[in-house]
Chain A
Amino acid sequence: MEFFLISSLNGLSYGLLLFMLSSGLTLIFSMMGVLNFAHASFYMLGAYFGYTLESRIGFWPALLLAPILTGAAGALFESKVLRKVHKMGHVSELLVTFGLSYIMLELVQLLWGRVAVEFTPPAFLQGPVFTLINHGQLGLSLVAGVGGEICQSADTAVRIVCTPFPATRAFIMVTAIAMVISLWWVLTRTRAGLIIQAALTHPETVETLGHNVPRVFMLVFAMGTGLAGLAGVIGGFTFITEPAMAATVGSVIFVVVVVGGMGSLSGAFLASLLIGIVQTFAVAIDYSLLQLFKDVGVVLSADWQNNSFIKLTVSQVAPILPYLMLVLILIFRPRGLLGKRDT
Chain B
Amino acid sequence: MASKKTWLALTLTSILSLNAYAQKGETVKIAWIDPLSGLMAPVGSNQLKTIQYLAEETNKSNPAGVKFEIIGLDNKLSPAESLNQLKSAMDQGVRYITQGNGSSVAGALLDAVNKHNERNPGKEIIFLNHSAVDPDFTNSKCSYWHFRFDADTSMKMEAMTTFIKDMPEVKKVYLLNQNYSHGQQVIKYAKENLSRKRPDIQIVGEDLHPLAQVRDFAPYIAKIKASGADTVITGNWGSDLALLVKAANEGGYNGKFFTYYTGVSGTPTALGQNGAGRVYQVSYAHYNMGGRMSQYMAGFKAKYNDDLYTGSMIGIFDLLTQAMAKAGSTDPVKVAAAMHGHKFKGYNGDMEMRKLDHQMQQTLFMTVWQKADKKFPYSAENTGMTLAPVKTFEPYVSSTPTSCQMKMPS
Contacts and interface: CB of A to CB of B under 8 A. Distances in A.
Interface of A: 3, 6-7, 10-11, 14, 109, 114-116, 118, 128, 131, 147, 151, 161-164, 166, 169, 239-240, 242-245, 248, 279-281, 283-284, 286, 315-316, 319
B218 to A, nearest CB: 5
A169 B246 CA distance: 14
Interface in B76-111: none
B166 interface: no
A284 B37 contact: no
A44 to B, nearest CB: 13
Interface in B166-215: 179, 205, 207-210, 213-215
A147 B252 contact: yes
Contacts of A118: 269
Given A151-B252, A163-B252, A283 B213 contact: no
A89 to B, nearest CB: 34
B226 interface: yes
A232 B320 CA distance: 48
Contact of A283 (B219, B252, B266): B219
A284 B222 contact: yes
A7 B45 CA distance: 35
23 contacts: A7-B219, A10-B218, A11-B219, A116-B42, A116-B266, A118-B269, A128-B250, A131-B252, A161-B225, A169-B218, A239-B243, A240-B243, A242-B39, A244-B39, A245-B215, A279-B219, A280-B218, A281-B219, A283-B220, A283-B223, A284-B222, A316-B209, A319-B214
B45 A284 contact: no
B57 interface: no
A303 B219 CA distance: 33
A323 to B, nearest CB: 13
Interface string B119-159: 00000000000000000000000000000000000000000
Interface of B: 36-39, 41-42, 45, 179, 205, 207-210, 213-216, 218-220, 222-223, 225-226, 239, 243, 250-252, 266, 269
A7 B222 contact: yes
Nearest first, the 7 A-B pairs at minimum CB distance are A283-B219, A3-B226, A166-B250, A239-B215, A164-B252, A280-B219, A114-B37
B41 A163 contact: no
A10 B222 CA distance: 9
Given A240-B215, A283-B220, 12 more contacts: A7-B219, A14-B216, A116-B39, A128-B252, A164-B250, A239-B216, A242-B39, A244-B38, A284-B219, A284-B222, A315-B223, A319-B214
A116 B35 CA distance: 13
A37 to B, nearest CB: 20
Contacts of A161: 225
Nearest to B42: A115
A248 B239 CA distance: 14
Contacts of B213: 248, 319
Given A10-B222, A128-B252, A315 B239 contact: no
B215 A248 contact: yes
Contacts of A284: 219, 222-223, 226
A244 B220 CA distance: 22
Nearest to A315: B207
A327 B287 CA distance: 50
A315 B220 CA distance: 10
Contacts of B215: 239-240, 245, 248
Contact of A109 (B37, B45, B207, B269): B37
B97 to A, nearest CB: 22
A164 B251 contact: yes
Nearest to B253: A163
A14 B218 CA distance: 10
Contacts of B179: 316
A8 B142 CA distance: 47
Given A240-B243, A283-B220, A286-B205, A319 B38 contact: no
Nearest to B39: A244
A109 B205 CA distance: 39
A243 B37 contact: yes
Nearest to A281: B219
Contacts of B36: 114
A86 B269 CA distance: 48
Contacts of A315: 207, 223
Nearest to A132: B252
A115 B222 contact: no
A147 B226 CA distance: 18
A111 B148 CA distance: 37
A182 B215 CA distance: 29
For A115, A169, A243, A316, the residue with the greatest tally of chain B CB atoms inside 10 Å of its CB is: A115
A212 B212 CA distance: 47
A163 B205 contact: no
A163 B215 CA distance: 20
Contacts of A163: 222, 225, 251-252
A319 B251 contact: no
A316 B208 contact: yes
B214, B226, B239 pick with most chain A CB within 10 angstroms: B226
| Most chain A CB atoms below 10 A, which of B36, B220, B225 | B225
Contacts of A131: 252
Contacts of A3: 222-223, 225-226
Contacts of B239: 116, 240
Given A109-B37, A240-B239, A6 B222 contact: yes
B251 to A, nearest CB: 7
B50 to A, nearest CB: 15
A109 B222 CA distance: 34
A244 B216 CA distance: 14
Contacts of B269: 118
Nearest to A147: B252
A162 B254 CA distance: 10
B210 A319 contact: yes
A244 B212 CA distance: 11
Nearest to B214: A319
Given A10-B218, A162-B252, A164-B250, A115 B45 contact: yes
B219 A114 contact: no
Nearest to A161: B225
Contacts of A281: 219
Contacts of A240: 39, 215, 239, 243
Contacts of A6: 222, 251
B252 to A, nearest CB: 4
Contacts of B39: 116, 240, 242, 244
B151 to A, nearest CB: 28
